[in-house]
């Protein structure tokens, strides 16, 4: 985001805030996840202005992951800003040992877990996050780079669920520059996060790549539009997969296990079978499967070949075991827990 762009961007108007946030009017409470950066401070300012003494109870939550010494001061700034606006605020700490590998993902999971626990404590059915148009574009570009198909390229949903709580993203079509302007208009001074300039992080590298692509027409809005189109395609595939699943479902005695007559899949489009398997695996294994297109394509091909050849096949993917019997039945179940190593030798 260029400095000139930030200065030129207007604050969100009251009419725009109403359009974006009125859907939350019936919620008893909301948790606002605020880090102190321009986007989250803009979100804080937007909700404070929109509520204006009415509507759901607002609860700001800021997370200290314990990874940077500066984080304590950043959380203190969030606490001060929320208190100045008359909004309840809590600092949440990620305690315990931190992994040496996959630290960013572990931190993200810990953050949502802490936020969800806090939402339950204060009676809030939803956590609101400040993901913007730029975040959506970066997500699409990152998933494209690692081989995602429509299930991944649909980007972030406006609402999803995590840890049993709704995650709401009302600003996916708002630029970060406008949220920053909204923060400034309320007198909030955002914190500069040094990680936003650290090339070790994929999002930072993608942000710089987007700056190079923008003159060619592939800007954040174009990528976000692509995400919307992929969302529509995903909905159509999901509906076709649902009809196919209903048509060839067979009874199962094991809870959480899906059983299908795979012979009916041979005359169906590959993408529909793939979408059916993705949903079945996500239901029984790991929901991240939606983004692992290459592995899912290989699995779908192997399953169809086994069904067509009347041969047995078994493999696991993202926590789910997929088995094809010689008779053409396809069984999707949670992968059995591995036994601990024997201590008796």
At 58 the pLDDT is: 97
| 331 SS3 class | strand
Q: Helices 176-185 and 38-51 sit at what angle, rounded to 10 degrees?
A: 60
217 Cβ contact partners less than 8 Å away, ≥ 6 residues apart = none
At 343 the pLDDT is: 47
- Looking from the CA of 148 toward its CB, the CA atoms found within 13 Å total 20
At 53 the pLDDT is: 63
At 230 the pLDDT is: 87
pTM for this one?
0.77
At 2 the pLDDT is: 45
At 340 the pLDDT is: 52
At 4 the pLDDT is: 43
254 Cβ contact partners less than 8 Å away, ≥ 6 residues apart = 333
**Is the distance from CB of 74 to CB of 191 less than 8 angstroms?**
yes
DSSP 10: P
Sort residue 88 into left (φ over 0), alpha (ψ -120 to 50) or beta.
Answer: beta
- Written as tens digits, the pLDDT of the chain (345 aa) is 444 444 578 999 999 999 999 999 999 999 999 999 999 999 999 999 998 767 899 999 999 998 888 888 899 999 999 999 999 999 999 998 888 777 878 888 899 999 999 999 999 999 999 999 989 998 888 888 877 777 678 888 899 988 889 999 999 999 999 999 999 999 998 887 666 666 677 777 888 888 888 888 888 889 889 888 888 888 888 899 999 999 999 998 788 899 999 999 999 999 999 999 988 988 886 555 444 677 888 999 999 999 999 999 999 987 889 999 999 999 999 887 655 554 444
- Measure the CA–CA gap between 251 and 255, rounded to whole angstroms: 11
Sheet containing strand 320-324, strands side by side: 249-250, 258-261, 329-334, 320-324, 313-317
Instruction: Locate 104 and state its tokens.
Output: 């960013």
CA-to-CA separations, 275 to 9, 248, 281, in angstroms, rounded: 41, 14, 10
At 186 the pLDDT is: 92
The full DSSP string for 57-119 is EEEEEEEE-SS-TTHHHHHHHHHHHHHHTT-EEEEEE--S---SSSHHHHHHHHHHHHHHHHH
């Amino acid at each position: 985001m260029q400095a000139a762009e930030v200065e030129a961007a207007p604050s969100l108007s009251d009419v725009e805030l109403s359009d974006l946030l009125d859907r939350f009017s019936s919620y008893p409470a909301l948790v606002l996840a605020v880090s102190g950066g321009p986007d989250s401070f803009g979100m804080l300012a937007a909700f404070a202005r929109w509520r204006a003494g009415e509507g759901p109870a607002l609860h700001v939550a800021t997370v200290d992951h314990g990874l940077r010494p500066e984080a304590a001061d950043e959380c203190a700034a969030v606490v001060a800003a929320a208190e100045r606006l008359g909004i309840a605020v809590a600092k949440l700490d990620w305690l315990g040992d931190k992994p040496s590998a996959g630290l960013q993902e572990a931190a993200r999971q810990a953050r949502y877990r802490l936020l969800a626990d806090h939402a339950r404590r204060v009676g809030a059915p939803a956590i609101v996050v400040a993901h913007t148009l730029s975040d959506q574009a970066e997500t699409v570009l990152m998933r494209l780079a690692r081989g995602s198909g429509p299930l991944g390229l649909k980007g972030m949903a406006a609402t999803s669920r995590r840890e049993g709580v709704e995650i709401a993203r009302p600003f996916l079509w708002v630029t970060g520059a406008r949220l920053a302007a909204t923060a400034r208009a309320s007198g909030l001074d955002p914190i500069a996060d040094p990680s936003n300039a650290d090339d070790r992080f994929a999002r930072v590298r993608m942000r710089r790549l987007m700056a190079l692509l923008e003159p060619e027409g592939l800007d954040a809005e174009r990528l976000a539009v692509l995400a919307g189109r992929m969302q529509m395609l995903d909905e159509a595939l999901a509906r076709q997969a649902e009809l196919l699943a209903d048509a060839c479902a067979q009874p199962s005695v094991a809870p959480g296990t899906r059983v299908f007559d795979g012979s009916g899949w041979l005359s169906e489009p590959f993408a529909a079978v793939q979408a059916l398997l993705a949903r079945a695996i996500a239901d029984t294994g790991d929901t991240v499967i939606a983004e692992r297109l290459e592995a899912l394509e290989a699995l779908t091909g192997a399953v169809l070949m086994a069904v067509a050849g009347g041969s047995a096949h078994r493999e696991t993917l993202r926590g789910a075991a997929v088995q094809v019997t010689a008779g053409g039945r396809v069984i999707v179940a949670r992968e059995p827990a591995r036994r601990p190593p024997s201590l008796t030798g």
